[in-house]
Amino acid sequence: MNKWLAFVLFVVAVGSVVFHFVSPWWFTPLASNWGHIDTTIVITFWITGVAFVAVILFMAYCVLKFRHKADRRAAYEPENKKLEIWLTVVTTVGVIGMLAPGLIVWNQYVHVPDGADEIEVMGQQWTWSYRLPGADGVLGKTDVRNITSDNPFGIAMNDPNGVDDVLIEGDDLHLPIDRPVKVLLRSIDVLHDFYVPHFRAKMDLVPGLVSYFWMTPTRTGSFEILCAELCGTGHHIMRGTVVVDAADDYDAWLQEQETFADYLAAAEAAKTSTARLALDNEEAEPKAAQ
Amino acid sequence: MADASPTADDYVPPAEVEDVELYHPKSWITKWVFSQDAKIIAIQYSSTALAIGLVALVLSWLMRLQLGFPEAFDFIDAEQYYQIITLHGMIMVIYLLTALFLGGFGNYLIPLMVGARDMVFPYVNMLSFWIYLLAVVVLVVSFFVPGGPTGAGWTLYPPQAILSGTPGSGSGIILMLASLILFIIGFTMGGLNYVVTVLQARTRGMTLMRMPLTIWGIFVATILALLAFPALFVGAVMMMFDRILGTSFFMPAILEFGEQLQYGGGSPILFQHLFWFFGHPEVYIVALPAFGIVSDLLSIHARKNIFGYRMMVWAIVIIGGLSFVVWAHHMYVSGMNPYFGFFFATTTLIIAVPTAIKVYNWVLTLWQGNIQLTLPMLFAIAFIVTFVNGGITGLFLGNVIVDVPLSDTMFVVAHFHMVMGVAPILVIFGAIYHWYPLITGRMLNSAMGHFHFWITFIGSYAIYFPMHYLGFMGVPRRYFELGETEIYSQSAADLNAFITIAALVVGFAQLVFLFNMIWSVWYGRKSEPNPWRATSLEWQTPVMPPEHGNFGDELPVVYRWAYDFSVPGAADDFIPQNVPPSAVAVSDDPETAPA
């Protein structure tokens, strides 16, 4: 039994390491500037991996070496101060080895570089919408209370910055390559989380406030957006696509998008045409009566 | 004789209080049903917890069937799936683990191990169980109301928990909150008992630093629970108000499928702070009793003192204290002020130090031991494996930047199942195999026990170790199905199918265990008193199983710590806590004589 248990412990320790290296399941290929996050994870893997293997193999050895014999006594050693202090110091060093790089990268994560483009991601059950600042480079103010069918983003009518905002509903988000972007996040109903595995970055969308993260796309292509915060029955179907374009392609795409002004004009036109239709109907009726 | 134990002392402090007169049951009902005997209450708590735990086990099968074979089961739709995972998580964490460790093991072991006749407030202790039972009944009722139980996830995050996009947002969530409120009221009654009993009712000579680590673990965990549960309590009450009265504690101005709601001004993140102010200590409410119990199992079955007892006690206390300043590591990507990340990552990783010390001391207890691979010992060793694995992945998630890609993925699911699911449950199994003879007078069947152990240990490692790698790929948790996607290869689906099969096999082994527990009450091998040759007081009662009042006419007097195993010079390889140094039989064997 002791041999068998020691063998299983050995397999667990070594097998876990082997699994790690041969497993086909690993990070999606990176498509943003957050390679440092991957590096921090690899550092953590090494430090913790060594500790894990050491502890399990030590235990396997003990099980094998100190198996019960009726004529033998266990050692009597209540404490060993020197050993305990030594282990504490080694552990502390290991922890610092993980924490220090982690905090350095986190510091980069929370500090948005100057001149980053701002875009807005808006979540609602269970779709993603996007808003770009338009020609003036400034996003208009919003309020959930402003939301109507003509103003799905709730943009403040009295804010001139909002008129040229580019609005994208039910379509892909495009981003230009190699330009840092600050992604402002907003929800109009429940919690959501904007998560693109290839970018590594993610952050919750919280109704009532605007959260953010930043990143620089480093690879063209289209990447899937997932919702990573449980948001109700349709959580798993709340998907989207972000397309990273070369600069020219991006500009071409941007030209084709509708602005808030277009929305307002369309709404106005619809109102007029409804009014005209009503007028036509009124004119038509007397004819029918004749 | 010269006693080599550092804690042994012939001095006995005088009794400070009179021996108490216990309530004497007058009928079958007051003896077995409305019992005020902590041992009966412990069994009532444990049976209820295991019964509702069985529901959680079945729910886990349903969830795994859906994840492993997404297209195959028409009877599970997305709404039901979210209800299943919510109730599985809630039952396991609160109604099974918390109730079993504190209400079950706490009630049974505290009075016996500190040398008391019973809990200090037996009547309140009885009420504690009945309110817990009521909480469980309310929870079960929520399965049968229109709309079913809540599917908000066990974290119950508003706003979605009380909006119509989430299943069970009608009566389900109200009953869930009501059940939690009841649970906390019931727990508080029991918890006050456990703390006061440890502080006030220890027998003569049982100093705090002579208490078995089992008691230290349960004691500190109970203090944590008494301080942490009130945060959940107010959170539950406020959400109930938001849901029923239309207040806006957690509700900002929002829409519900295009419709403007009347809410405004509340903060969803406030709920998360309240929830995790409870939720993180909750991890240690489950873990600390497991730490304590496993320390005793290792020591007894390795026939060696626990290594570094004082350090072990301080580690429990420090971990307990630190557990109150790390809660927001569950919220790194919640949208809270990102500068919190620096503070909470630092405090979180500091916890790794006392926790690692505990691990070292466990394995160093094995070093130069005389290791008997009994079933409790097997489970204790398996605990160390899974706990170290789960603890290590905690260092990933606690380190704020590393958490960013991994949060809300299957990595998190794998991590917390390993560290606060599998690991503490392995300790529960070890503890049941260990104390079953004390409680029933019979041993559990060993063949069934070994079958149970190997399947559970290897099987649960096979479930959760590969699951981390789904998280690395970015597979989110709480997904009804992955659906059409280019991110994950077919092999991810294959891995999910494998995990499901492993989970079903492990689940089956638990049924064997349940059968063993029931079968052995009547057919188990009769146990001699103190079958493990343990030192702590619960095994030194005049009759086994102990009767009401625990210790017969005279309360035991304690002369030493609980870890006098293989003391040099002593004839036996263990000296019970109630044996004075002058009464220790000396060995003639020169090998074991003092140097």
Tell me the C-alpha distance between B301 and B299, whole Å.
6
Nearest to B353 among A25, A76, A95 (CB): A95
Q: What is the pLDDT of residue B593?
A: 46
Q: Which residues contact B489 (CB under 8 A, 6 or more apart)?
A: A24
* Cβ–Cβ under 8 Å, residues B331 and B412: no
* d(C-alpha B469, C-alpha B465), whole Å: 8
In terms of C-beta density within 10 A (0-12 exposed, 13-18 middle, 19 or more buried), how is residue B230 classed?
middle
Q: Are B478 and A191 in contact (CB under 8 A)?
A: no
Is the backbone peptide bond immediately before B159 cis, with ω within 30 degrees of 0? yes
- Both structure tokens of B566: 């293989």
**Strands A239-245 vs B255-256: parallel, antiparallel or unpaired:** unpaired
User: What local confidence, expressed as pLDDT, does residue B211 receive?
Assistant: 96
Domains and CATH numbers, chain A: 2-67+77-110 (no CATH), 117-269 (2.60.40.420)
Which amino acid is located at B459 in the chain? G
Q: For each successive 10 residues of chain B (595 residues), what is the average pLDDT? A: 66 78 82 92 97 96 94 88 97 97 97 95 96 98 96 96 95 97 97 96 94 98 97 97 96 94 95 97 96 98 95 96 96 95 96 96 96 97 97 96 96 96 97 97 97 97 96 94 82 93 96 97 95 96 92 92 92 92 79 47
Q: Which ipTM did the prediction report?
A: 0.93
Residues of A in contact with B363 (CB under 8 A): 55, 58-59, 62
Q: B345 vs A95: CB contact, 8 Å cut-off?
A: no
Structure token digits, residue B227: 């301080």
Note the pLDDT of residue B552: 87
Q: Say if the Cβ atoms of B395 and A98 lie within 8 Å.
A: yes
CB A2 within 8 A of CB B373: yes
A202 membership: H or E segment, kind and range: strand A202-205
Positive or negative CA dihedral for A257, A261, A263, A265?
negative
Q: Do the Cβ atoms of B307 and A228 come within 8 Å?
A: no
Q: What's at B409, amino acid-wise?
A: T
- Return all residues near A202 (Cβ < 8 A) that are at least 6 apart: A193, A194, A195, A196, A213, A228, B333, B404, B405, B407, B408
Residue A281 has a pLDDT of: 65
Distance of CA A61 to the CA centre of its chain: 43
How do residues B487-520 score in pLDDT, each as one tens digit?
A: 887 888 999 999 999 999 999 999 999 999 999 9
* Local mean pLDDT, 10-residue blocks, chain A (290 residues): 92 95 92 95 95 96 93 88 94 96 96 95 96 93 93 93 94 96 96 96 96 96 96 95 96 94 89 73 53
Residue of A189, A196, A239 to mutate, testing the B interface (most B Cβ within 10 Å of its Cβ): A189
Q: Are B405 and B339 in contact (CB under 8 A)?
A: no
B497 in contact with chain A, both atoms CB, cutoff 8 A: no
Sign of the torsion angle spanned by Cα atoms B93, B98, B101, B105:
negative
B 556-575 → A contacts, CB under 8 A: 563, 565-568, 573
- What 3 state SS string does A69-136 have? CCCCCCCCCCCCHHHHHHHHHHHHHHHHHHHHHHHHHHHHHHCCCCCCEEEEEEEECCEEEEEECCCC
CB contact under 8 A, B567 and A76: yes
Residue with token string 């808006």:
A122
Q: Is A213 helix (H, G, I), strand (E, B) or coil?
A: strand
Q: What are phi and psi of A130, to 5 degrees?
A: -135, 150
Q: B395 Cβ partners below 8 Å, 6+ apart?
A: A44, A48, A95, A98, B349, B352
